[in-house]
Structure 1
């Protein structure tokens, strides 16, 4: 009932254990707190919170328009509804190294298990848009060092994302990944890889866990979880997938109203009311209400007077 039973500290420990388990972790992207509960119900290992989704949720493009306050607030709403670890996209850290330090502690307080910071210039662009620019190696390293130094829980995961592959090529991505690991990054997120072989190349270059981004309609191919595990990936995200599915279904529903004046034909595609109530755990709330409010005082017991001790 209400929020997750697992504490933020427990979730961070679980994330660390999962990354060292030898099996790949699957983190679908939640677009709201309810979808995070569904991800847990379906048996996945964790929840991803995408910057692109948070932007889209506000009706904005993913070009660095969201603020730390908006990201932390929405991330807290999502993370607290699931016992699964949640990782959030922190863009470029919302400023210079001191801002990065504040970002880390704010996201810790929001109950996240980890985050990633990228090496794009500030403000950033979506990782699968053209025209990206990355900062120099020194600036990228300072961001990661600031993040590592600022965290108070050593289990809070600091992941470094690099977008340099699309700018300067694979060799530059290898060099950048090594530098970010040396700076203290707990994991590496190489964005917009061109092939499984490129993922293998990054795997051979660093010893920390690696994240693979399986976003639809992007610059890279879509690989199966097994394919990614076979080349040594430790975590795979599906960042915008659930939002795309939901918005596609919503558009079809609106078209049905326009065309037929009714949603009768769409009923098989809808989540049933009973399934929603189960996901929301209505029964626990009902039991709580009945235990607290629905009672009758024993008429034979009188209230003590003020003079009684």
Structure 2
């Protein structure tokens, strides 16, 4: 662990503890992470759904592995300096697997992981038909994650999907148990009413993350409203993915219909902008310096 890793993780933990609901935007690859950094967000979330959708063309039904997420995390870490939260699904197995997952993802450059209490194979939190493991089993996973981290500022975000299975009160009870087990941040997925969104942060001594899924089950409140309620983080896991899909559909439909596509900034990023985002100027300078 470098000093920059340590300082970044400590600063991110302090930021979450402020409970001002900064938005953390989801990336599905290194370039999307760089655009998130370039547009001014404070942290980036490597989304398992995004990697599944964009890298494999599959739905969010537990098709990605620890190796997939670690490889993507390493690429994102190389591309950006932002704090990086990695979606670790269910921890990729039992408590012993969770231990290995934490070691692997921390080495890959993650500053936090999010881990949920669904059974394997898990589903997107806003799909129907989810099932959850016993709360005690998840407690063991959280304890394993806490013990496995090398940096105490590496945060464990404990997610429960129990609201959709057993109701919101069961999800709240589970979240309390997960906090007692050592979780740093709590995440009650698919909260369906504004009333519950408003009351949840005050029920816990540690910060909560709220997941805003565009088109999903959770009502959308502004970042200002969520900060006023005391949320630690506001997650937009797949805003980049959904906007990218929309942009590709628009541009490629135009090309298909017209048989040509010009550098129209309402449809495509200009060539020069693409080179800026991948920092081509740096490599031009290095090439000159090294006489290549």
TM-score, structure 2 as length reference: 0.94
Out of 79, 89, 92, the residue aligned to residue 91 of structure 1 is: 89
Out of 195, 198, 201, the residue aligned to residue 196 of structure 2 is: 198
Corresponding position of 1:228: 226
Please tell me whether the aligned partners of residues 30 and 49 of structure 1 are also in contact (alpha carbons under 8 angstroms): yes
Corresponding position: 1:14 with 2:25: no
Please tell me whether the aligned partners of residues 94 and 100 of structure 1 are also in contact (alpha carbons under 8 angstroms): yes
Corresponding position: 1:268 with 2:266: yes
Please tell me whether the aligned partners of residues 88 and 115 of structure 1 are also in contact (alpha carbons under 8 angstroms): yes
SS where residue 217 of structure 1 aligns? coil
- Distance in 1, matches of 2:206 and 2:199, equals 13
Corresponding position of 1:292: 290
Please tell me whether the aligned partners of residues 8 and 112 of structure 1 are also in contact (alpha carbons under 8 angstroms): no
SS where residue 140 of structure 1 aligns? helix
- Distance in 1, matches of 2:285 and 2:279, equals 11
* Runs of 5+ consecutive residues of structure 2 not aligned to the other structure: none
Corresponding position of 1:279: 277
Out of 217, 220, 240, the residue aligned to residue 219 of structure 1 is: 217
SS where residue 128 of structure 1 aligns? coil
Corresponding position: 1:35 with 2:32: yes
Corresponding position of 2:145: 147
User: Structure 1 residues 31 and 6, CA, compared in 2 at 3 Å: closer, same or farther?
Assistant: farther
Query: Counterparts of 1:151-162 in structure 2 under 5 Å?
Result: 151-162=149-160
Shift of 1:21: 3.2
The number of equivalent residue pairs is: 290
Please tell me whether the aligned partners of residues 191 and 213 of structure 1 are also in contact (alpha carbons under 8 angstroms): yes
Corresponding position: 1:257 with 2:259: no
- Distance in 1, matches of 2:226 and 2:169, equals 20
Shift of 1:22: 4.4
- Distance in 2, matches of 1:262 and 1:272, equals 15
Q: RMSD of the TM alignment (CA)?
A: 1.7
Corresponding position of 2:166: 168
Corresponding position of 2:61: 63
- Distance in 2, matches of 1:10 and 1:54, equals 28
SS where residue 268 of structure 1 aligns? coil
SS where residue 27 of structure 2 aligns? coil
* Runs of 5+ consecutive residues of structure 1 not aligned to the other structure: 295-309
Shifted more, 97-106 versus 39-48: the winner is: 39-48
SS where residue 80 of structure 1 aligns? helix
- Distance in 2, matches of 1:7 and 1:143, equals 28
Please tell me whether the aligned partners of residues 62 and 121 of structure 2 are also in contact (alpha carbons under 8 angstroms): yes
Please tell me whether the aligned partners of residues 142 and 158 of structure 2 are also in contact (alpha carbons under 8 angstroms): yes
Please tell me whether the aligned partners of residues 19 and 207 of structure 2 are also in contact (alpha carbons under 8 angstroms): no
Corresponding position: 1:44 with 2:79: no
- CA deviations 1:136-161 (Å, max 9, x no partner) are 11111011011111111111111100
Shifted more, 192-201 versus 103-112: the winner is: 192-201
Shift of 1:286: 1.8
Shifted more, 240-249 versus 193-202: the winner is: 193-202
Please tell me whether the aligned partners of residues 6 and 83 of structure 1 are also in contact (alpha carbons under 8 angstroms): no
Shift of 1:36: 1.1
- CA deviations 1:154-206 (Å, max 9, x no partner) are 11111100001111111111111100000000000110011332123321221
Please tell me whether the aligned partners of residues 95 and 140 of structure 2 are also in contact (alpha carbons under 8 angstroms): yes
